[in-house]
Structure 1
């Protein structure tokens, strides 16, 4: 069950839409509502809408147009999965999603690494001390990522 201090799926989607509007990006949203429709409820029987605790799970999948390609799956728990040009950031707290996207579209996100030995990381710093960092697979640097490479330690 979602705790009262955590943002709802709909409020996170609203924040994503506002950021997309600021950056003139197209947005496509798909809502999955009910235990039999959400990605983490695979054991729920067909037609099972409520979780055992009586809550109604609500998940959303948001695709943003433009470059980089960005998709956000807002889980019915307190986290989200953000994929940037094929690089997947799992377990991002819901309340960090807006700051993550602002960092991404505000030019703070960058790729850090070395050519030899090879190692590239997509780094998304948030206000404060929070930073998200994921490995970019060999050969998976997109033009958007290549334009944001900073050499140094990975």
Structure 2
């Protein structure tokens, strides 16, 4: 399934704001605008606002309240890093971020694990064949991760 195209960071923030409203979540957004402000433009000189192509990069960091603990960092390069209970999903396409969050908040995300070799993974399925899976690094699962275990 294709996701709605979110042409800008602001469009992605608006889509995530709608999901927060739908699930009754508090939301805080921090915007960084300009090449000298965004995290991936560390080589930009002080007060260098535009990228070499003349564009104005816009990055947003979003914190969503409630359980699970979720943050979303949207980068100007059309991707995002989404953290769920401190499990980081890097390089999620910006267009997939709303579907990713909807999957988490609607209860579709789940934890799987094995005894040997030991390990646990958080899996977030999206509509269609898109699935994200990351290892859980901590020894003790948070209450939300423990509730999401499937055998």
- Structure 2 residue matching 1:31: 3-state secondary structure: strand
CA contact (8 A) 2:111 2:150 kept: yes
> Alpha-carbon deviation of 1:140?
4.2
Q: Tell me the residue number matched to 1:126.
A: 126
Q: Count residues with an aligned counterpart.
A: 147
- 1:1-154 alignment, distance < 5 Å: 6-151=6-151
Q: Structure 2 length as normaliser, TM-score?
A: 0.94
The ranges of structure 1 where at least 4 consecutive aligned residues each deviate by more than 2 angstroms after the TM superposition are none
Residues 1:6 and 1:15: Cα distance change in structure 2 (over 3 Å): closer
Q: TM-score, normalised by structure 1?
A: 0.92
Secondary structure of 2:96's counterpart equals: helix
Measured against aligned partners, the alpha-carbon deviations of 1:96-115 in whole angstroms (never above 9, x if no partner) come to 00100000001000001123
Alpha-carbon distance in 2 for matches of 1:140, 1:89: 19
CA gap of 1:136–1:36, structure 2 versus 1, over 3 A, is same
- In structure 1, the gaps of 5 or more residues are none
